[in-house]
Structure 1
Amino acid sequence: MKELNELVKINDSNEIVLKEEVVKKIEEFNNAKKEIEYQEKLLKAGIMEAMETLDLKTLDIGNVHATYKDSYVRKSVDTKKLKEDGLYSIYEKETIVKPSIVLKVGD
């Protein structure tokens, strides 16, 4: 068995093996992240409602700084239409993206 570090190994069948404690930690982190994001969403909604009520554009309380951004119309390019018209490949460019992994816990 090849040891990449103390938590991740590759067995003799060339399969990645994670210790059960690692899987549990990833699940715990994911659940904590979801809860924090939910709480942040509630806080932002409350602050935004208060700022709209008082017609404030900025708010500074302690280390917290909030800036209210009005809604706006975003314009984008219709790549499907450009492809259909044969123009997409003329303006297409390639960018090298660094390797990464995504860890997802089943829901």
Structure 2
Amino acid sequence: MTYVIAQPCVDLKDKACIDECPVDCIYEGPRMMYIHPDECVDCGACEPVCPVEAIFYEDDLPQQWNEFAPANAEVFEKVGSPGGASASGPLVSDHPVVENTSPVTA
């Protein structure tokens, strides 16, 4: 199990979670942040700093956002495990679940 970033992060990308992550496993996509499941050490440091409460332990992910658990893992299928977000830079694309999420409007 790992932590998952869900729908409330889409089009927000506050990035407070990045500053709090001790292992640099939170990557930036074009529309949202993603936690690399193989690099996350399940410390939970990111969860309380998220201003929109978008980060959940995988077992606690609300049912309406279940599709975000595989999305957080599958987005890394092409890039593998770079060994840290700061060294690899932003992801080139979002997962299709995120790409198909309607833009947040004010």
Q: Is TM-score (shorter-chain normalized) higher than 0.5?
A: no
Structure of greater relative contact order (alpha carbons < 8 Å, 6+ residues apart): 2
Question: Please, what TM-score do these two structures have when normalized by structure 2?
Answer: 0.18
